Amino acid sequence: MAKRKTADADITGGSAEYSADDITVMEGMEAVRKRPGMYIGTTGTEGVFHLIREIVDNSVDEAMAGFASRIDITINKDGSVTVVDDGRGIPVDKHKKTGLSALETVMTTLHAGGKFGGKGYQVSGGLHGVGASVVNALSEWTVVEVRRDKKISTQRYERGKSIGEIEVRKPNEDDLHGTGTTVSWIPDSQIFPEISYEWETIANRFKEMAYLNQGLTIHLQSAFHEDAWPFNDVTYMFDGGVQSFVRSLNRRRGAVHPNVMYAQETVDGVVVEVAMQYNDSFIENCLSFANVIRTGDGGSHVTGFRSALTRVLNDFARKNKMFGTGKDDISSLSGEDVREGLMAVISVKVKDPQFEGQTKGRLGNPEVKGAVEKIVGTKLSEFLEDNPTDGAQIINKSTTAARARAAAKKARDLVIRKNAMDGGSLPGKLADCTEKDPAQSEIYIVEGESAGGSAKQGRERQFQAILPLRGKILNVEKARPERMLAHEEIAALITALGAGLGEDYDEEKLRYHRVIIMTDADVDGAHIRTLLLTFFFRNMPQIIGNGHLYIAQPPLYRASRGRSAKWLYSEAELDEWTANRLYGTIKITSEGDSALELKSTKIGKVLTPLRDYLDSLEVTRVLNIPDNVIDKLVKDPEYRSLDFRPKRPEEESEPEVSAESGQVSLFDEPEDDSESPEAEMAPMAAKPDEEPKEVEVEILPDRTFDIDGYTLTKDIYQNPAVQRLRSIFPIIQELMEAGPLSVTKGDNVVATKVAWQDLPATLDSKSDRSGVNVQRYKGLGEMNPDQLWETTMDPEERVMLRVTAEDAMAADDIFRTLMGDDVEPRRNFIRANALEVKNLDV
């Protein structure tokens, strides 16, 4: 069996002579185009989206400065993007230092912008003056239109360089009125291998922006996403700010107390806005922002918030004698205790923020910590005093967490002591590797003793460790920590990895930098994989975030004909192999005017989507959706993005629009007759001597559409089978519209007048399958050790999926839906997707 060479290949040096002639100086935009990753992180899909964020951030800065109220973002069909704002408009007068217009200076010069001197912007998200110029440098073309001083000034750029002078004209009837800036660009295909946009990611980011800027309207639409689900035209505007944000996030999480603690105040030039509410989950969700930039790694504002939260809740509990006096009673709450089940949004706006790196993942300003701690301390104390019932519920939630933490610590200590008494810290079932460098080591978490035995025999002992698990591990979504730690398989997994879990997780102690889940390709294997993913997401999210968690992809089939054999990892690969082996002399042509002609490999590439289309079409028939309705939904552009949002009542003020549900919902916040600014900024709570007001929330019904007498609802429109038909149709459209087909084998016509629906069956009946053997593999234990190495464990040949959680809130939602205690969301999910399941082993 061939084994991987683990020794690094020789690294040869450059020329022995090294002089000034070897030093390259790149000027202007050349450096950006040469090393785009330094400025936007990646040239993948995230990099394409980063360009949009840079331009929109500039418009948001105008809004934060009080000069803009609306931003329109359009992703055009050709992949270009247009961003329009109603701000002041980029200056177009001559810049003294560069001799160019201010507009051209901003667009073609790095580190040039209005955010350095403090005159143009008091608060901004863009700090380095590279956003617009980097977008310009990495775009095939860019066009900027500025509306100000009752004139419209336009300039075009190509790959970072201006093409001609600024053109100035007076506005006409078709132009946008008022002041503002319009920026259009198309990402450069020389820089980005693929121009694509993830609709959901983009929509969620701009929804966040709208929450963080009260009153700002953000309109997002896309002609590029013709099959966007549920729709590709959304408008966000939230008067409630981060308070509405928290209510929205907690809507499906079961709030522990009814009122949201809200604080908004300015201290020493730092604008602080905080909202928080507890839910019945076991995890903390704390979203932090600085100048509307997401600070995923936290920083001084999060530190100040946590410090105030722990101190105030302990003071409130002691003052109201909520701690017991017995030997085993809780005497104080730790930071971990008071953050269990917390949903919080922390937004600060700072004149001169200090971010760590261009990615701005962590805020470093020390003065922000004091400002946040002071404001949260004061407002949270007032909230608890004004809402004693809410306070009691919060303390009860935290003390329950403290008792569970104490029990979990005992269970953890018991695991450690047990391992020590067994004579070692590693579980006995672990077959460890000899490599001591974690960066060079990997561990396979394998389903069952049988597969574990094959993996141990087939592995490369030097750098591959094997940990077999017996049966299905505990569903940690429904279990308290102490019960989870008492589970033998989970205890073995924690011990083998060595890094701890939760707040005790230590990346430096992680013993393997590739943690690979390897389960059978059947329903039980998928369930075990899901349970393991739930465990890692809830208890070791750093393993996911740092890119250490993978899913092995064992082959589904072994196909052979004669002496030729191949491992196949998907239905599509099987179809392609079959086409090459069985359809080598077969040709499909149209009998009509269409020039359609498919041979060999092309037949294989079209068969998988064709079968998927037919399967989904069968699902829609089970749902009793007429074929003529499906035809319109799939083929007619008029039905590509139906909007099921309820019609907005004319007498109502602007409500919030949710991209998650597609519904317009009226705010469920108490009405306040006071018009003072102080009343607007007060927490959402009843005054001490008043009963909370009952507010009736009107839920408006979704729209429906009549199609040839059939009533189309949003649930039907969003059904996965319908969405799959719409996404597959462009791939097989030519085949479907070609009319009757002929199948030719060699020089003989073997079938005529074949409808596209009958093509798979016709090909199966006309192909020669003698000597062909296709074996379906479901269990890893079915493979010999050398086969397991060859297909799934050999680094030179294996296929693995890296586990990521780009949107932590969306990931949290799906785990709560599928693995949590609430049955209704899971039932709805199953009802919507059950008919789409394939290869179900019953």
Question: By the 8 A CB rule, do 414 and 491 touch?
Answer: no
Residue from 99, 111, 127, 97 nearest 29 by CA? 111
By residue count, the chain amounts to: 842
Question: Terminal CA-to-CA distance of the chain, rounded, Å?
Answer: 36
Q: Which residue among 336, 522, 615, 734 is the active-site one?
A: 522
Which H helix or E strand runs over 611?
A: helix 600-622
447 assigned to active site = yes
- Helix pair 388-421, 300-319: axis angle to 10 deg: 110
Q: Which residue among 273, 489, 520, 812 is the active-site one?
A: 520
522 assigned to active site = yes
The position carrying tokens 């899909």 is 45
821 assigned to active site = no
8 assigned to active site = no
Q: Which alpha helices (H) appear in 684-798, and where do they start and end? A: 714-717, 720-736, 759-766, 785-788
Q: For residue 270, how far is the Cα from the chain centroid?
A: 30
Question: Strand 285-290's sheet: what is its strand order?
Answer: 261-267, 270-278, 342-349, 285-290, 293-294
Distance CA 129, CA 143 (A): 19
> Residue 417: CB partners within 8 Å, gap ≥ 6?
none
CA distances from 632 to 580, 703, 721 (A): 35, 18, 15
> Residue 214: CB partners within 8 Å, gap ≥ 6?
238, 239, 240, 241
Classify 688 as helix, strand or coil: coil
> One-letter amino acid identity for 378?
T
Q: In 494-556, at which residue ranges do the beta strands (DSSP E only) sit?
A: 514-518, 549-552
Distance CA 762, CA 746 (A): 16
CA distances from 482 to 341, 422, 491, 756, 798 (A): 17, 22, 11, 58, 37
Residue from 638, 575, 637 nearest 610 by CA? 575
Q: Which residue among 72, 86, 442, 447 is the active-site one?
A: 447
Distance CA 255, CA 690 (A): 22
> One-letter amino acid identity for 85?
D
Distance CA 774, CA 574 (A): 9
Structure tokens belonging to residue 488: 């033998």
Q: Which residue among 239, 280, 524, 794 is the active-site one?
A: 524
Rg for the chain (alpha carbons), in Å? 30
β-partners of residue 342 are 278
Residue from 92, 93, 91, 133 nearest 109 by CA? 133
Residues identified as active-site: 447, 520, 522, 524
